[in-house]
Structure 1
Amino acid sequence: MSLPPVLRDLLTAPGPSGREGIAAGVWRGHAEKFATLERDTFGSTVARVAGTSTEDGTSAGTSEGGVPSLAVVGHIDEIGLIVTHIDDKGYLRIAAVGGQDPQQLVGQRVKLITKNGLVPGVIGKKPIHLIEADERSRAAKLKELTIDIGATDKDDALQAVRIGDVAVVDAEPLELRGGRVASRSMDNRIGSFVAYEVARLVAEQGGAPGEVQAWAVAREETGLHGAATTAHRVRPDIAVVVDVTFASDQPGVDTNEIGEHPLGSGPVVELGTPLHPWVGDRLIETAEAEGIPYTISATGRGTGTDADAINIAADGIPTGVIGVPLRYMHSVVETAQVEDILNAAKLIAAFAQGLTSDVDLLR
Structure 2
Amino acid sequence: MESVAREFLFRLLKTPSPSGYEQPIQQVVREYLGACADSVTTDSHGNVIGAKNPAAPMRMLLAGHCDQIGLIIQYIDSDGFISVQPIGGWDPIQLVGSRVTIWTASGPVTGVMSRKPIHLLTEEERKVVPKMKDLWIDIGAENKADCESVVRIGDAVTLELEVRLLRRNLACSVAMDDKVGLWVVLEAFRRAVAAGPLPCGLFVASTVQEEIGLRGAQTSCHGVDPHVAIAVDVTHATDCPTIDKKSEGDVALGKGPVVFRGPNMNPHVVDRLVAASKEREIPIQLAAPAPTTRMSTVTSA
TM-score, normalization by structure 1: 0.78
Which secondary structure state, in structure 2, belongs to the residue aligned with residue 311 of structure 1?
helix
Matched residue, 1:23: 25
Report the Cα distance in structure 2 between the residues aligned to 1:44 and 1:168, rounded to whole angstroms. 21
Report the Cα distance in structure 2 between the residues aligned to 1:252 and 1:25, rounded to whole angstroms. 40
The amino acid of 2:45's aligned partner reads F
Matched residue, 2:40: 37
Kindly indicate whether residue 131 of structure 2 is the aligned counterpart of residue 141 of structure 1. yes
The amino acid of 1:37's aligned partner reads V
The amino acid of 2:36's aligned partner reads F
Report the Cα distance in structure 1 between the residues aligned to 2:202 and 2:240, rounded to whole angstroms. 35
Q: Deviations over 1:43-73 (max 9, x none)?
A: 21011123xxxxxx73212xxxxxxx21110
Matched residue, 1:336: none
Kindly indicate whether residue 229 of structure 2 is the aligned counterpart of residue 239 of structure 1. yes
Identity %: 37
The amino acid of 2:56's aligned partner reads S
- Which residues of 2 match residues 143-292 of structure 1 at below 5 A? 143-292=133-282
Kindly indicate whether residue 120 of structure 2 is the aligned counterpart of residue 130 of structure 1. yes
Give yes or no for contact 1:173–1:181 (8 Å, CA) kept in 2. Answer: yes
Give yes or no for contact 1:198–1:214 (8 Å, CA) kept in 2. Answer: no
Which secondary structure state, in structure 1, belongs to the residue aligned with residue 235 of structure 2?
strand
Give yes or no for contact 1:272–1:301 (8 Å, CA) kept in 2. Answer: no
- Deviation at 1:133? 4.1
Which secondary structure state, in structure 2, belongs to the residue aligned with residue 197 of structure 1?
helix
The amino acid of 2:252's aligned partner reads P
Matched residue, 1:324: none
Report the Cα distance in structure 2 between the residues aligned to 1:259 and 1:128, rounded to whole angstroms. 36
- Which residues of 2 match residues 308-323 of structure 1 at below 5 A? 308-313=296-301
Give yes or no for contact 1:109–1:171 (8 Å, CA) kept in 2. Answer: no
Report the Cα distance in structure 2 between the residues aligned to 1:70 and 1:99, rounded to whole angstroms. 31
The amino acid of 1:71's aligned partner reads L
TM-score, normalization by structure 2: 0.94
Give yes or no for contact 1:74–1:241 (8 Å, CA) kept in 2. Answer: yes
- Deviation at 1:258? 2.0
Kindly indicate whether residue 64 of structure 2 is the aligned counterpart of residue 74 of structure 1. yes
Kindly indicate whether residue 57 of structure 2 is the aligned counterpart of residue 60 of structure 1. yes
Matched residue, 1:112: 102
Report the Cα distance in structure 2 between the residues aligned to 1:171 and 1:301, rounded to whole angstroms. 31
Which secondary structure state, in structure 1, belongs to the residue aligned with residue 234 of structure 2?
strand
Matched residue, 1:331: none
